[in-house]
Each structure stands twice: as structure tokens, then as C-alpha cells.
Amino acid sequence: MARLLGPDGRRVGLALLLLAACVLPFLLSSYRTFQLTSALTYAIALVGLNILTGWNGQISLGHGAFYAIGAYVAAILMDRFGVPYWATIPVAGFVCLGAGYLFGLPALRLEGLYLALATFALALATPQLLKWKHLEEWTGGVQGIVILKPDAPFGLPLDQDQWLYFFTLAITVLMFWLARNLLAGRIGRALVAIREQPTAAEAMGVDIAFYKSMTFGVSAMFTGVAGALGAIVIQFVAPDSFTLFLSITLLVGIVVGGLASLSGAIWGALFIQFIPNVADHISKAAPWAIYGLFLIACMYLMPTGVAGLLRAAAARLDRAPPGP
């Protein structure tokens, strides 16, 4: 896309996209606005997982765990300590940065399938730990925590859904900007080098251990921020919200959207937000069967995800001679 439009064209495109994103909630119903808000939170989570899996090549089947930590940090802070909702988001991010970094240290020794298992274990253990009686005082145990939905501040003429949408949109833009700056430079190149040729990367002086565990931390931070936003949007956290299936959904999102692509995170988020509803609409008898067919069809048609397909299409257009 970039080459097709050139850097200026790209900037114009982004500005138009952002403008559209700002206008949408005034055109759509509250319910649709709410759906878009949830898609935005997914997009942030997917950027997180994509940094780890797409750019750095470490497969995680357990990112739902970091999403859950972020959500619970936000919920506990709001519910027990009366912290305002906006202030919980950076805290959730930092807690997850730490948790991800710590998890990343032992995970350094594991590769491929073994890393998949370790993260898988994390995803399985999360609901169990959230229900654990010694943590119940904080987590609310099986009952979870209900939190309040924030109103728009400063007397802005927005309803709760619109305000949350703009709040989430702002954070999404910030997180995408952060991710882009992180990945466009030296760090991004180091991550890809580690993914493609770890030994060569090391020989060139890339500190693999540091980069890998830090990537885990940063990735978890993004996902944690998304979790905190998700909790605020849904107004409720419970162990049942963060099962293994959430982690798998996130993985589905990055692959369908496109690995190692920021725009892919948006496509993936739209997919995991809306396709299950489409499947439900088609068949009540076996909605998962329809969803599965969608998944397989996507992989047949776009093995490199939506972003990959668009990139290939753009490259083809670039190469084609100018039309008449």
C-alpha cells in the first residue's frame, strides 16, 4: 500500500481513516458503537500478540492470560481502591509489562512447540488462579467483579458508549503509534533478525536474551492495556471471560489479519469481533461449524492474512504498467 500511494498518500489515507473513525459513532447506534469499541480493544491486544508472534516469531497460545491480568488490575483498582478508570490503564500496562518480562525469562529456553505448551499452560492456569480461594478477596472468586461504566467528562455532549469509544480510539491510536515507532527502527529489525536467523543475529551483536524477554514484556503490556479497556467496556470481569478460547481467538486474529502487520491487527480484530455473529446468524444448530468454515476459507484464500493479501495486491498494481 505504501508504495502505491507514496508516503504523502499514506498520511492522507491515515488521516481520512481517523476522520471516518471519529464520525462513525455519530452515525451508528450505541450498540454498533459499543461493538466497534470492543473491536478496537481487540486490535490493541492483537498488536501485542503480533509483536511477539509476528515480528519475533515466538508463538503464544496464552495471551488471554495477559488480557485477563490487565482486566483484573483495572477492575480491582476501580472496585477496591476507587481509582478512576483512566488511571487504571497505565497501571495495567505496567503490571503486564512486568508479568510478561518475568514469564519471558524462562520462556527463553523454550522454542516452537515447547513455548506453545508453556504459554498454553499459562492460559489454562489463569482461570484456576483467578478462582483460587486465597486470591478470592481481590478477584471476587467465581463471582467476578462488576464495575461502573464511566460518563463523559467535562460535560461533553457524548453518551457513555460514545465517550468510551473515543477514549478507546485515543488509546488505540497511541498504542499503534508506539508500536510503529518501536518496530520501524533498530528494535524492529533486531526482532525480525532473531525470528529469521537467531545465530546470525547473535553474531552481529543482538542481545537475544534481552530482546526476547523484553519482547514478551512489551507484547504483554499491549495486551494488558487492551484487557483493562475490555473490562471497562464490558463493566464486568469473571474467570469465565478469560478461558483458553480467548487466547486461541487472539491467535486466530493475528493470523487472519496478517502476521507482522499493524494494519493486520485491525482486520483481525474486525474478524474476531464480527464473524462469530455472522456464523450465529447463519446457523443456530452448529454456529461453530460455520465459524470453522470461515477460518479454513480465509486460510485458503489468504494464507498470509488480509494484510498479506492487500500487500500482494498493492505490489501487483505497482508493477503493472500505467493504465490507459
Among 91, 108, 64, 68, smallest CA distance to 231 is for 68
CA atoms of 246 and 68, how far apart (whole Å): 10
Q: Which is nearer to another protein, 100 or 144 (CB)?
A: 144
Contact region for another protein (CB under 8 A) — 14-22, 210-218, 233-241, 314-322? 233-241
Q: Which residues contact 294 (CB under 8 A, 6 or more apart)?
A: 275, 278, 279
304 touching another protein, by CB under 8 A:
yes
Give, as ranges, the residues between 24 and 53 that touch another protein (CB under 8 A): 29-31, 34-35, 38, 53
Contact region for another protein (CB under 8 A) — 86-94, 183-191, 242-250, 310-318? 242-250
Among 70, 100, 239, 264, binds another protein (CB under 8 A): 239
Cell of 76: 480491582
CA atoms of 150 and 64, how far apart (whole Å): 24
Contact region for another protein (CB under 8 A) — 84-92, 111-119, 168-176, 178-186? 111-119
Q: Which is nearer to another protein, 110 or 182 (CB)?
A: 110
152 touching another protein, by CB under 8 A:
no
114 touching another protein, by CB under 8 A:
yes
Cell of 134: 486465597
* Distance (Å) of CA 87 to CA 37, 64, 92, 229: 19, 22, 9, 11
The radius of gyration computed from the CA coordinates of the chain, to the nearest angstrom, equals 20
CA atoms of 315 and 1, how far apart (whole Å): 8
Among 16, 289, 315, 317, binds another protein (CB under 8 A): 289
For residue 236, list its beta bridge partners: 146
Cβ contact 115:59 at 8 Å = yes
Among 4, 124, 173, 309, binds another protein (CB under 8 A): 124
Q: How far is the CB of 192 from another protein (least distance, A)?
A: 14
Q: How far is the CB of 16 from another protein (least distance, A)?
A: 28
